[in-house]
């Protein structure tokens, strides 16, 4: 097993005195896809925000390789942040820019700001962005405005952007929540392929257990801000599901539809 690229150790976070994450520990190795499962409000997004440095943590640590992110300042912190690529459910892209410009934006942290302002990207930046778009199968949409792309295409542009950014870890917060089942599976297969091919570690929040079981190497279950499961997909059984989601109520029996006279229609 490759050594852990990302290591979260006893991370805790509270908002207004209310604990949201309670001593959360998990790791992601190079080339590994780890799915985080949890009910709404379990703390998944907060965990991602803490790892990405978008929210301060109260206790514990986040290490990338052997470097504790909390200890970094200035350029070293900026460099570490580039190593962590974010793919979120929505609001991923600059709507009025085309696909290629959105991917080039992934190079922002890697090139001086004046080059961006003058649109003087080095040839190498442009070819990286084009190669990233090609890798996700969207080269023919390079000059299409982001807000005219389908949801699945937009997610692939967001993935191309973190590829162009040369991130070593991808944090994907419900990247397929708004996609149809086929596109969702294809998007997760793409993430998994990139993990394998480039040694990127992927940490991915999902609501759907079946998608996690089908695409992740490991499942981490979060409930009430605590890790309650850390398992291979093959060992994620009914008991593990209950630990994560609680006892699911039986599906309600739909009431019959009647017309005004009370006759049952269907």
How many other CB atoms are found less than 10 A from the CB of residue 139? Answer: 15
CB of 226 to ligand ATP, least distance (A): 12
Q: Select the binding partner of residue 201 from Mg ion, ligand ATP, none (C-beta < 5 to 8 A, by kind).
A: none
- CB-count burial class (<10 Å; 0-12, 13-18, 19+) for 252: exposed
> Which residues contact Mg ion by CB under 5 A?
44-45
Kindly give the pairing relationship between strand 218-223 and strand 226-231.
antiparallel
Residue closer to ligand ATP, measured from CB, 22 or 83: 22
What is the smallest separation between the CB atom of 225 and ligand ATP, expressed in angstroms? 7
Among the residues of the chain, which ranges form H helices? 44-52, 74-82, 99-105, 113-117, 123-135, 151-164, 181-198, 209-215, 238-245
Q: Under the rule (CB under 6 A), what is the footprint of ligand ATP?
A: 15, 20, 38, 40-46
**Cβ closest to ligand ATP, residue 50 vs residue 157:** 50
Minimum gap (Å) between residue 82 Cβ and ligand ATP: 24
Of 101 and 173, CB closest to ligand ATP: 173
- The residue nearest Mg ion at its CB is 45
CB-neighbour burial class of residue 25 (10 A; exposed 0-12, middle 13-18, buried 19+): middle
- For ligand ATP, the closer CB: 136 or 222: 222
60 binds, among ligand ATP, Mg ion, none (CB under 5 to 8 A by kind): none
Q: How far is the CB of 206 from Mg ion (least distance, A)?
A: 11
Of 2 and 14, the one with the shorter C-beta distance to ligand ATP is 14
**Residue pair 109/78 in contact by the 8 Å Cβ criterion:** yes
Location of structure tokens 């199968």? 137
């Amino acid at each position: 097993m490759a050594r852990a690229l990302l290591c979260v150790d006893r991370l805790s976070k509270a908002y207004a005195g209310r604990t949201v994450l309670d001593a959360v520990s998990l790791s992601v190795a190079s080339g590994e896809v780890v799915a985080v499962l949890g009910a709404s409000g379990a703390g998944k997004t907060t965990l991602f925000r803490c790892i990405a440095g978008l929210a301060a943590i109260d206790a514990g640590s986040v290490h990338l390789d052997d470097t504790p992110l909390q200890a970094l300042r200035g350029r070293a912190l900026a460099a570490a942040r580039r190593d962590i690529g974010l793919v979120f459910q929505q609001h991923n892209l600059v709507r009025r820019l085309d696909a290629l410009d959105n991917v080039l934006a992934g190079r922002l942290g890697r090139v001086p700001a004046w080059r961006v302002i003058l649109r003087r990207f080095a040839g190498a930046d442009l070819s990286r962005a084009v190669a990233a778009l090609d890798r996700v199968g969207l080269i023919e949409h390079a000059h299409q405005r982001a807000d005219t792309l389908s949801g699945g295409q937009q997610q692939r542009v967001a993935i191309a952007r973190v590829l162009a950014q040369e991130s070593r870890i991808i944090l994907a917060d419900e990247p397929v929540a708004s996609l149809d089942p086929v596109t969702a599976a294809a998007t997760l297969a793409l993430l998994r392929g990139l993990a394998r091919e480039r040694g990127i570690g992927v940490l991915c929040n999902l609501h759907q257990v079946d998608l996690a079981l089908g695409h992740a190497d490991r499942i981490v279950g979060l409930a009430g801000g605590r890790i309650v499961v850390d398992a291979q997909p093959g060992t994620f059984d009914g008991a593990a599901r209950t630990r994560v989601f609680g006892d699911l109520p039986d599906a309600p029996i739909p009431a019959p539809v009647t017309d005004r006279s009370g006759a049952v229609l269907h």
